[in-house]
């Protein structure tokens, strides 16, 4: 039965020019949950550490500044009350200095950085003569009678701050690790029902009567998903069952009238007084009945997804198909011939092979206006070579789509499902159908029974 799809003629570049899809990295849901916990734990701990460090610095600075201010004021009071005799201030990590006016010049030489400082609290840092770093706060209070300086050593404070920062880093690392463990445990708990649901779905693969999933899960989100899958499975099973019943009913109901037609035709052909013109027409009816029978058998196999077996002679099927198409040529200047070696056999029912080759040969005959159509027999394949106009790139890209009718189809009748049926038969039997440009014009359609990758522009069977 010839398809209304345009004659197969895809360009080899039509396949090779398609950009290859880059595989996208997709994180599993379990990994996303773990990563979320790690980032949350790390972010919160880091924020807490930063806040603690900032608060510590502010509090320490405020306390030290307040202590220095109070101590230098007290130092000035004692100095003035003692008439300049009391110069020592017994405070830990602090040293007090007082300089009378006659010592200002010497102070500029000994401590030039102190000499020009205004009243207030300043931070002094640098390195000693031996290269050791130092840092201290310096409180300055200048009066006409004397200049007062109070130095607060920050060395121990800097060391303590460094230890505190290291401790905070350790806390961030530890709590991030704890977040990782909690995330791992939570992801396992959260994903366990989903994994069980997926496992049960995989266990039902290939079953025509899957069991309900919802009773195995609690009334939560996974349970709702299981209910939705049960509902979808039930509706899908009903659709498949109705489709199978419809195909079986159609097959059964059509076989009866076809059997009546076959018997009537055989009785009419047995009459010796029939003229040749009438005999030719009845033989055409007989061939049409055989094509209908083969097509019904092939479609029934496809609907059931059952791979029938047989020992079909490829050459005999080709001869029958060519003979049937010769009777439909009329006055069309087209030659149909077969070449190659006979003897190839295929493990499939004759009906399936007849439908697959019949569509390829039918397309070649329909769209080749003149010239010849050659069917070449190979040890593991059949080539249908025509001298037609070929196909455009757009037609080639959509060659095996169901319902697609190419630009060369014109106003011809049909629904454009012939090559789609061929593709589905190839998927069922493990065959391979492909096309390539002819040597001068037209196309070469190849049906290979032992799939290889040697066929140019080969199309794997589509379901």
User: What does the DSSP assignment read for 196-224?
Assistant: HHHHHHHHTTT-SSPPPSGGGS-SSHHHH
More confident residue, 66 or 12: 66
Tokens at 347, concatenated: 């493990």
pLDDT for 20:
45
Mean pLDDT, residues 188-203 taken together: 80
State pLDDT tens for residues 331-376. Answer: 788 889 999 888 889 988 888 888 889 888 888 888 888 888 999 9
pLDDT for 396:
62
The candidate with the shortest Cα–Cα distance to 135, out of 144, 125, 143, 127, is 125
State pLDDT tens for residues 308-338. Answer: 788 889 999 999 888 888 887 877 888 899 9
Tokens at 382, concatenated: 């059949």
User: Are the C-beta atoms of residues 194 and 166 closer than 8 Å to each other?
Assistant: no
Mean pLDDT of the chain: 76
The phi, psi pair for 379, rounded to 5°, reads: -60, -35
User: Are the C-beta atoms of residues 309 and 347 closer than 8 Å to each other?
Assistant: yes
State pLDDT tens for residues 130-177. Answer: 777 777 888 888 888 888 888 887 776 777 777 888 888 888 888 888
Q: What does DSSP assign to residue 438? A: -
Least confident of 73-87, 248-262, 293-307: 73-87
Residue 352 to residues 149, 310, 423, 424, Cα–Cα distance (Å): 108, 10, 12, 11
The Cα 368–Cα 408 span in angstroms is: 11
The CA-CA-CA angle for residues 270, 276, 280, to 5°, reads: 80
pLDDT for 240:
75
pLDDT for 296:
79
The Cα 365–Cα 412 span in angstroms is: 13
User: Are the C-beta atoms of residues 408 and 367 closer than 8 Å to each other?
Assistant: yes
pLDDT for 7:
40
pLDDT for 377:
92
Backbone CA torsion sign across 311, 315, 319, 322:
positive
The Cα 398–Cα 405 span in angstroms is: 9
State pLDDT tens for residues 94-133. Answer: 777 888 888 888 888 888 888 888 888 888 887 777 777 7
For residue 387, pLDDT over 80 is answered with yes
Mean pLDDT, residues 190-195 taken together: 80
User: Are the C-beta atoms of residues 386 and 373 closer than 8 Å to each other?
Assistant: yes
% the chain with pLDDT above 90: 3
Q: Which residue has the tokens 């109705």?
A: 242
The Cα 4–Cα 454 span in angstroms is: 28
* Kind and range of the H or E run holding 432: strand 432-437
pLDDT for 4:
42
pLDDT for 6:
40
Query: Quick one: pLDDT band at residue 382, thresholds 50, 70, 90?
Result: very high
Q: Which residues contact 315 (CB under 8 A, 6 or more apart)?
A: 338, 342, 343, 344, 377
The Cα 131–Cα 123 span in angstroms is: 19
> Residue 393 CA to chain centroid, in angstroms?
28
């Amino acid at each position: 039965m010839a398809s209304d799809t345009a004659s197969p003629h895809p360009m080899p570049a039509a396949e090779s020019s398609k950009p290859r899809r880059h595989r996208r990295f997709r994180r599993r849901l379990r990994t996303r949950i773990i990563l979320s916990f790690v980032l949350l734990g790390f972010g919160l701990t880091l924020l807490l550490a930063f806040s603690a460090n900032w608060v510590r610095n502010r509090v320490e600075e405020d306390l030290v500044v307040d202590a220095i201010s109070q101590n230098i004021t007290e130092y000035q009071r004692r100095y003035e009350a003692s008439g300049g005799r009391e110069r020592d201030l017994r405070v830990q990590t602090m040293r007090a200095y007082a300089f009378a006016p006659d010592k200002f010049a010497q102070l500029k030489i000994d401590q030039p950085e102190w000499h020009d400082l205004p009243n207030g609290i300043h931070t002094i840092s640098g390195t000693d003569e031996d290269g050791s770093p130092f840092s201290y706060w310096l409180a300055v209070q200048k009066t006409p009678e004397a200049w007062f300086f109070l130095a607060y050593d920050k060395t121990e404070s800097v060391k303590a701050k460094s230890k505190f920062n290291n401790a905070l880093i350790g806390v961030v690392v530890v709590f991030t690790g704890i977040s990782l463990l909690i995330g791992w445990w939570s992801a396992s708990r959260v994903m366990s029902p989903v994994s069980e649901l997926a496992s049960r779905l995989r266990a039902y693969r290939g079953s025509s009567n899957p069991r309900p999933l919802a009773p195995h899960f609690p009334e939560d989100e996974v349970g709702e998903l299981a209910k939705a899958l049960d509902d979808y499975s039930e509706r899908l099973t009903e659709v498949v069952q109705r489709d199978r019943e419809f195909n079986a009913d159609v097959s059964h109901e059509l076989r009866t009238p076809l059997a009546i037609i076959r018997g009537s035709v055989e009785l009419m052909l047995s009459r010796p007084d029939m003229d040749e013109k009438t005999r030719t027409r009845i033989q055409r009816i007989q061939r049409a009945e055989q094509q209908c029978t083969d097509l019904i058998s092939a479609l029934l196999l496809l609907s059931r997804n059952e791979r029938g077996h047989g020992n079909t002679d490829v050459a005999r099927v080709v001869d029958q198909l060519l003979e049937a198409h010769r009777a439909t040529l009329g006055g069309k200047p087209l030659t149909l011939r077969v070449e190659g070696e006979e003897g190839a056999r295929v493990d499939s029912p004759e009906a399936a092979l007849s439908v697959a080759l019949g569509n390829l040969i039918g397309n070649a005959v329909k769209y080749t206006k003149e010239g010849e159509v050659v069917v070449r027999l190979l040890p593991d394949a059949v080539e249908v070579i025509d001298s037609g106009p070929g196909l455009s790139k757009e037609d080639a890209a959509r060659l095996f789509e169901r319902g697609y009718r190419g630009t060369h189809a014109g106003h011809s009748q049909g629904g454009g499902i012939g090559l789609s049926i061929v593709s589905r038969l190839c998927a069922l039997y493990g065959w391979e159908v492909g096309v390539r440009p002819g040597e001068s014009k037209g196309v070469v359609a190849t049906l290979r029974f032992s799939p290889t990758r040697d066929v140019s522009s080969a199309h794997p069977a589509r379901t």
